[in-house]
Chains A and B, each alone.
Chain A
Amino acid sequence: MIGSLEFARPSLLALSLVVLIVLWFARRAAAHPLIDATGTLEIWKRATSEKPRSAPKPRIPPAVWWLAAALVSGVVALAGPRTKQTSSSNSLLVVVDRSPSMYLSDGTKTRLAHALSIARTKITALAFDEVTWIAPPYADDEAHASNTFRDEWLEAPRFDVAEPDPATYDRANVLFVTDHSLQNRLKKAGFCASGGPAVSGPIGVDGDHILVFDGVSLKAGALVPQRTVHIAAGVAERIVRITEAWASARGFQFEPGFVIAPVPDSAALTVYGSSGPSAHEVDVQRDGWNARATAVGPLPTRDSHGSIVNWLTSTSGECVVASAPGRVHIALRTIDEPRGDPAAWPVSWSRLFDESVSLPRGCVSIAERSSAGDPAVRDPGRPLTDGPESIGPWTALAAACATVCALVAVWLASSTQRTPASGDTISGVSMSGATMNPRQRA
């Protein structure tokens, strides 16, 4: 770990010479004894008459060693130790927003294409050594980020995704590619915003018709095409039945037993089963119902389309049902007759399906269709190498060591000013306050 350290200001390490100077002076002082007057020389002679007379060996006091350690630690702290960056410090991470608004077009090209054009110009101007790209939540692994913008990101994702959380990536050497300004939401990261006017178009479904926003008001559009609900094999029979009942009530065509990949545009909801290693008994409860079930979980926190949200957890904490727009993952093979309010069971699941069903292809919420303002650009911040913000754990550790060593040195130095202890007391002598150090004046 120590070998992976580097210094922000290595030139300051030259201050270590101060330590050598201190030690040199201490050695020189130790080699030359203090000369002091005493009226009890004869007593001192008698006290040392039993010992062989040899010249006192020069010895640097322990307090000086501790002082030297404090100085070394202080110099190291000033030099700014830090862990070497695994990637080049001149590397730019580009975070691409793939929320539905990015695929709205102003008639010439999409907001994403606009933002991408601005970003590429900016990236070229910034002249980073390395540029990597991610597009959360589909591709958010920074360790395996792509070195180029993937063309597949030009296509809207099958299921709607939210824009990347600015706070997650708000750091130096990060550039957002988005459609609206993030000026007030980012402190260190930069952004390239395409801007763009409000875009009219379908925003949802109203009964049998597509609901269209024309820029001023909502109007009923074309008939909604037949949509389907797919459910995979292996899902608990009781859940299949409630899914079928819900699909029937909502006018969806129910397709049990198989899942088409990739998910077709006609699919309103796809219910996936799970193929866990072993089935086991779990107790589940939610919304006023509870039941005993056989689970093959736990479910992962994300699927191939992005993160999924836990909806049903067993009493032992195992996630057995999770959902995301357009899809539900179920890890329950069987489930017993639910207990509790008989109405709670279907209402609970129906609410899950209603919240998970995806809009027809092409529908974008009215919020996403609103104006993104003017194009905006802000350069990403650079890693700080000076100033208080660069203080890292190694610097703090070195500073703490310096403080501790300095305190020990002070304590050792002060402890040499001996106070009268029981062993020091000469019987009958008033010695209170006799703590002066004859070296103090030296």
Chain B
Amino acid sequence: MSAVPRASPTPFPRVAFAPDFLARLELFSARFIAARGRAEEFGRRFGGVGGHDFIGYRPYHAFDDTRLIDWNVYARTDRALVKITRREMSERVVIELDASASMGAGPPGKLQCGAEVAAAFAALALRERASVRFVVCGGRDGGRTLVVERATRLGDLLRLLASTEAHGVDSATKTSLLARERRIVISDFSTRQPSEFTALNRDVHLVRILAPHELGLGPAGPIEWIDPERGGRLALELDATTRANYARELELELEHWRVTLTPFRRVRHSVHSSANAFEEIVRRSLVQ
């Protein structure tokens, strides 16, 4: 039986943001920080409060943390003012986005989903006044790095992401991590092992993005799977039995990651469908 390719090996290699994505991103980050429980959780993780030198005051805005209000000034002047501080030590968040060929699978495209999630993490970190070092692992142009220290540079980050194309193999980018850096890795971890993340004594978020058909959801019928990174092929009849076997094997694979990472409390691993909205993925990743 001859197989006629009807799909590219990486059918969704590119990233394209909707016109309203930036506004959606800002709304999400503002609401997320403003939510009381989530603000505490996120602030604790990213050092959102405390540890800064006082510079001056500015008026309180709706989405500011109320703990930032200087109540003494309020009592004296009847004005809600927020302290402006300068970071004593740079809070840094390293966000790594896997742009290997396997991230071009879908629909919806995993790279598209991963880029949106990465941008959302960056927006949250910037709103907490942390600086972001963004690393694109793999991809058509190889590893690229962008440091984003102000929210106004989110546009630069989106342009970087929009120019990213899934290509090549997944490889861990060697990045030097400082003591207070948090690491967020967004990938399908198709060729990675959990042990790569246990050696680091850092806060690490592993956000695994899988396409729906990689979660066992898909139509019945003959199909030929291609590994876009290593070129492997597998023709099979996708029926209920095969799907059940796949679900079991996927469960074992994920369980292996969980068991390996459980002793390392600073490493968190979550799995998401690329069909999910980035807001939900980020929210689930952080409150897990």
Known: A429-B215, A433-B276. A39 touches B102 (CB 8 A): yes
B144 at interface, CB cutoff 8 A = no
With A and B bound together, what is the CA distance between A406 and B248 in angstroms? Answer: 36
B223 within 8 A of A: yes
CA distance A74 to B230 in the complex (A): 49
Q: From residue B105, how far is it (CB to closest CB) to chain A in Å?
A: 4
From A44, A416, A436, A440, contact of B220 by CB (8 A): A416
Q: Which residue of A lies closest to B230 (CB)?
A: A41
Cβ contacts under 8 Å, A35 to chain B? 3-7, 223-224, 226
- Are B226 and A51 in contact (CB-based, < 8 A)? no
- Beyond A36-B7, A428-B271, A430-B273, is A44–B219 a contact (Cβ under 8 Å)? no
Are A39 and B223 neighbours in the complex by a CB distance under 8 Å?
Answer: no
Do A41 and B227 form a contact, CB below 8 Å, given A424-B247, A431-B217, A441-B7? Answer: yes
Q: Is the CB of B226 within 8 A of A37?
A: yes
**Alpha-carbon gap, A56 to B242, bound state (A):** 12
Interface string of B195-226 (1 = CB under 8 A from A): 00000000000000011111111111111111
Q: How far is the CA of A40 from the CA of B225 in the complex (A)?
A: 9
CB–CB B218/A438 < 8 A: yes
Name the CB-closest residue of A to B213.
Answer: A438
- In the assembled complex, the Cα of A428 lies from the Cα of B4 at a distance in Å of 36
Number of interface residues of B (CB under 8 A): 73
Whether A441 lies near B102 (C-beta < 8 A) is: no
Query: Quick check: is B275 within 8 A (CB to CB) of the other chain?
Result: yes
Binary CB contact string for chain A from 414 to 442 against chain B (1 if under 8 A, 0 otherwise): 00111110011011111111111111111
Cβ-defined contact, B219 with A418, below 8 A: yes
Within 8 A of B (CB), among A390-414: none
A58 contacts partner chain B, Cβ-Cβ < 8 Å: yes
A433 to B212, CA, bound (A): 9
A45 at the interface (CB under 8 A from B): yes
| Known contacts A43-B249, A61-B221, A428-B271; A434 and B215 CB within 8 A of each other | yes
Cβ of A30 < 8 Å from any Cβ of B? Answer: yes
Also in contact, A47 and B3, with CB within 8 A (given A33-B223, A39-B190, A441-B11): no
A: number of interface residues (CB 8 Å): 51
Establish whether residues A39 and B276, one from each chain, have CB atoms under 8 Å apart when the complex forms. no
Residues of the B chain whose Cβ atoms lie less than 8 Å from the Cβ of A431: 212, 215, 217, 273, 275-276
- A433/B277 in contact, CB under 8 A: yes
Q: A35-B5, A39-B103 are known contacts. Are A438 and B232 too (CB-CB below 8 A)?
A: no
Expressed in whole angstroms, the Cα–Cα distance for A417 and B107 within the complex equals 12
A32: interface (CB < 8 Å): yes
B-side contacts of A438, CB under 8 Å: 106-107, 211-213, 218-219
**Minimum distance in angstroms from B110 CB to a CB of chain A:** 7
Please indicate which of the listed interface residues A31, A33, A417, A433 has the most CB atoms of chain B within 10 Å of its own CB.
A33
Binds A, one of B19-27, B174-182, B233-241, B259-267: B233-241
**Which residue, A39, A46, A418, A430, has most C-beta atoms of chain B within 10 A?**
A39
Which A residue sits closest to B285, measured CB to CB?
A: A430
| Chain A residue contacts of B225, Cβ below 8 A | 36-38, 41, 44
- Report the bound CA distance from A286 to B119 in whole Å: 95
Give chain A's interface secondary structure class.
loop
B73 an interface residue at 8 Å Cβ cutoff? Answer: no
Whether A428 contacts B258 by the Cβ 8 Å rule is yes
Smallest Cβ distance from A9 to chain B, in angstroms?
37
Contacts of A424 in B (CB 8 A): 215-217, 243, 247
Q: Within 8 Å of chain A (Cβ to Cβ): is B141?
A: no
Q: Which residues of B contact A419 (CB under 8 A)?
A: 217
Q: Check if B236 sits within 8 Å of A44, measured CB to CB.
A: yes
Do B247 and A38 touch (CB < 8 A)?
A: no
Check B1 against A433 for contact (C-beta < 8 Å): no
Query: Counting CB contacts under 8 A, is B254 at the interface?
Result: yes
A48 within 8 A of B: yes
Give CA–CA (A430, B2) in the complex, Å: 37
Complex interface: chain B residues within 8 A of A33 (CB): 1, 3, 221-224, 235
Among B8, B11, B214, the one with the most A-chain Cβ atoms within 10 Å of its Cβ is B214
Contact A437 B188 (CB under 8 A): no
Q: Measured between C-beta atoms, what is the minimum distance from A50 to chain B in Å? A: 7
- Interface flags for A36-77 (1: CB within 8 Å of B; 0: not) read 111111111111101100011111010000000000000000
A residues within 8 Å of B by Cβ? 30-48, 50-51, 55-59, 61, 416-420, 423-424, 426-442
Given contact pairs A38-B226, A426-B254, A430-B276, enumerate 13 new A-B contacts (beta carbons under 8 Å).
Answer: A32-B1, A34-B223, A39-B210, A39-B211, A40-B188, A41-B234, A44-B236, A47-B242, A57-B237, A428-B254, A434-B215, A438-B212, A438-B218
19 contacts between A and B (CB under 8 A): A30-B222, A31-B1, A33-B224, A33-B235, A35-B223, A35-B226, A38-B211, A38-B226, A39-B190, A41-B226, A48-B245, A57-B237, A59-B221, A426-B251, A429-B271, A430-B284, A433-B277, A436-B275, A437-B219
